[in-house]
Structure 1
Amino acid sequence: MNCMLVDDDEMSRRLIEDYASRVDFINLVRTFSNPIDALSFLQNQNDDVHLVFLDIEMPEMSGIDFLETSSSKPQVVIISSKEKYALKAFDYSVTDYLLKPITFPRFFKAVSRAYERYNQLRSPFDDDREIFIKKNNTLVRIRYGDILWIEAMENYVIIVTSHERFTIHLTMKSIENQLPSVRFKRVHRSFIVNVGKIETIEDNVISIRSNEVRKAIPIGKSYRESLINELKLIANK
């Protein structure tokens, strides 16, 4: 989920930049101290910015004026040192309102809410939807349509695509929560599969095949009935 930050306070910007760097599913594409420059950038991005972290009190243009002026309508998380603007801000359907000083848990709660809304607004079977994962010190963009399956390995998960494998330090539960449940199904305590890549299901084994990649994945006993029922629902849509 692509984000931008608009705040004239340097210390606040540095804090949000640091927090954003810790969250795998957001990508902070630009930071602005001047809201007029930010507004110009946003208007030219069409739908490429999905979330704006927006300060309220800025000298050139207030956050409220920014909301009123912008024709682009990404989600907005307000960051402010004062509560008095909250009611006005929520008139613009902002996703959250963060009071300074902002803690990381509170920041994470806000971006998680935004990410959930972001996923709800997009079709889970759109191959061009994507997830950002952190590999070493780099954010890597992976298209949903490229993911074949995800496999647990102790305290890591391996995301297998049609052309590459990514080993990242996440739990299965964490990666499962970041992906749309309609498309990605937990079929075993150690496996999540992209249902669009299932070729066959025979007995308790899923066969996945894409180009030269083939994989037989076991179905856990406690997952089989739920998986079959959900696949029937998808097939009937």
Structure 2
Amino acid sequence: MLECVIVEDQPPAQRILSKFIGDHPGLSLKATFSDAVSLMDFMQKSKIDLIFLDIHLPKMSGLEFLKSQADHPPVILTTAFPDYALESYEYQVIDYLLKPFSADRFNQAVAKIAPASTRHVEEEKDERSIVIKSGHELIRMSLDDIVLIKSDADYTEIVGEDTKHLSGYPLRHWLETLDDSFCQVHKSFVVHLKHVRKVSHNKVQLSGAHTVPIGRVYKKAFMENMASLE
């Protein structure tokens, strides 16, 4: 778990970063500051593993902070201005996040400093189970208990027969990390093939009385995957 801090003077941006950090299994938010001077004071007495640093700050800019610190912790810059990207890499920043950025882009940046904790993003796989980071909870769930995964913008619902857990990662993440017992049947749905009970026209009936639509572009691959189970 990486102990990180936010240095950002805009409350909305602070809230977004706090949300993304809270949803990430490898990060723990230690403190939030509105200026880099306060961060420097904090660094004298506390260990920090990662800094999310805005560039335009009161008292001292983010780049001035980097110039003043010969040996600073890893930094991910967060800014609305693209002009400083090239200069920033002179100070060995990990990544340059241009506001507004998505949770997916945030996780890509974090993966550069914490590849071990983000190899499966929010999963710590144990044979046929995963650990889902849902809000401030870690929930272990067997892959065999997952009936379907539903997309909702940048979030997904991990659905069992009678359970639902909200995840902070998009559907694409699950398609890249889960095994081939899962298949996409619609732009918004991935199903566990072993939970399919009936395919009727353009509908899939699943365990737990769940029914989802089949998208035309996904139907052929889905039917082939179902046939392979016979």
**TM (normalized to structure 1)?**
0.51
Q: In 2 relative to 1, CA 4–72 (structure 1 residues): closer, same or farther, beyond 3 Å? A: farther
Contact 2:9 2:35 in 1 (8 A): yes
How far the C-alpha of 1:28 sits from its partner, in A, is 1.1
How far the C-alpha of 1:153 sits from its partner, in A, is 5.4
How far the C-alpha of 1:53 sits from its partner, in A, is 0.3
> Could you tell me how far apart the structure 2 residues matched to 1:84 and 1:117 are?
32
Q: In 2 relative to 1, CA 117–88 (structure 1 residues): closer, same or farther, beyond 3 Å? A: farther
1:154 aligns to 2:153 (yes or no): no
Read off the aligned partner of 2:10 and give its amino acid letter. Answer: D
How far the C-alpha of 1:57 sits from its partner, in A, is 0.7
Q: Partner residue of 2:21?
A: 20
Contact 1:39 1:70 in 2 (8 A): no
Q: Partner residue of 1:89?
A: 88
Q: In 2 relative to 1, CA 96–29 (structure 1 residues): closer, same or farther, beyond 3 Å? A: same
How do 1:122-141 and structure 2 match up within 5 A? 134=133, 137-138=136-137
> Could you tell me how far apart the structure 1 residues matched to 2:114 and 2:107 are?
10
How far the C-alpha of 1:2 sits from its partner, in A, is 1.2
> Could you tell me how far apart the structure 1 residues matched to 2:79 and 2:87 are?
13
SS at match of 1:28: strand
* Percentage of identical aligned residues: 29
Read off the aligned partner of 2:5 and give its amino acid letter. Answer: M
Show structure 1 runs of 5+ residues with no match: 120-131, 140-149, 157-167, 176-237
Read off the aligned partner of 1:89 and give its amino acid letter. Answer: S
Read off the aligned partner of 2:32 and give its amino acid letter. Answer: T
> Could you tell me how far apart the structure 2 residues matched to 1:63 and 1:117 are?
28
Deviation track 1:181-215 (CA, whole Å, cap 9, x = no partner) reads xxxxxxxxxxxxxxxxxxxxxxxxxxxxxxxxxxx
> Could you tell me how far apart the structure 1 residues matched to 2:103 and 2:55 are?
20
Q: Partner residue of 1:143?
A: none
Read off the aligned partner of 2:41 and give its amino acid letter. Answer: S
Read off the aligned partner of 2:50 and give its amino acid letter. Answer: L
Q: Partner residue of 1:50?
A: 49
Deviation track 1:2-51 (CA, whole Å, cap 9, x = no partner) reads 11110111111111001111111111111111211111112322xx3111
SS at match of 2:113: helix
How far the C-alpha of 1:104 sits from its partner, in A, is 1.1
Contact 2:25 2:117 in 1 (8 A): no
Tell me whether 71-80 or 16-25 shows the greater mean CA deviation. 71-80
Q: In 2 relative to 1, CA 151–4 (structure 1 residues): closer, same or farther, beyond 3 Å? A: same
> Could you tell me how far apart the structure 2 residues matched to 1:155 and 1:9 are?
42
How far the C-alpha of 1:87 sits from its partner, in A, is 1.0
Q: Partner residue of 2:222?
A: none
1:110 aligns to 2:109 (yes or no): yes
Read off the aligned partner of 1:111 and give its amino acid letter. Answer: V
How far the C-alpha of 1:137 sits from its partner, in A, is 2.7
SS at match of 2:72: coil
Q: Partner residue of 1:189?
A: none
Q: In 2 relative to 1, CA 99–42 (structure 1 residues): closer, same or farther, beyond 3 Å? A: same
Q: In 2 relative to 1, CA 72–20 (structure 1 residues): closer, same or farther, beyond 3 Å? A: same
SS at match of 1:4: strand
1:7 aligns to 2:8 (yes or no): yes
Q: In 2 relative to 1, CA 133–25 (structure 1 residues): closer, same or farther, beyond 3 Å? A: farther
Q: How many residues align?
A: 140
Tell me whether 95-104 or 62-71 shows the greater mean CA deviation. 62-71
Q: In 2 relative to 1, CA 117–84 (structure 1 residues): closer, same or farther, beyond 3 Å? A: farther
Contact 2:22 2:136 in 1 (8 A): no
SS at match of 1:49: coil
**TM (normalized to structure 2)?**
0.52
Show structure 2 runs of 5+ residues with no match: 119-130, 147-164, 168-173, 179-230
Read off the aligned partner of 1:85 and give its amino acid letter. Answer: Y
> Could you tell me how far apart the structure 2 residues matched to 1:24 and 1:118 are?
7
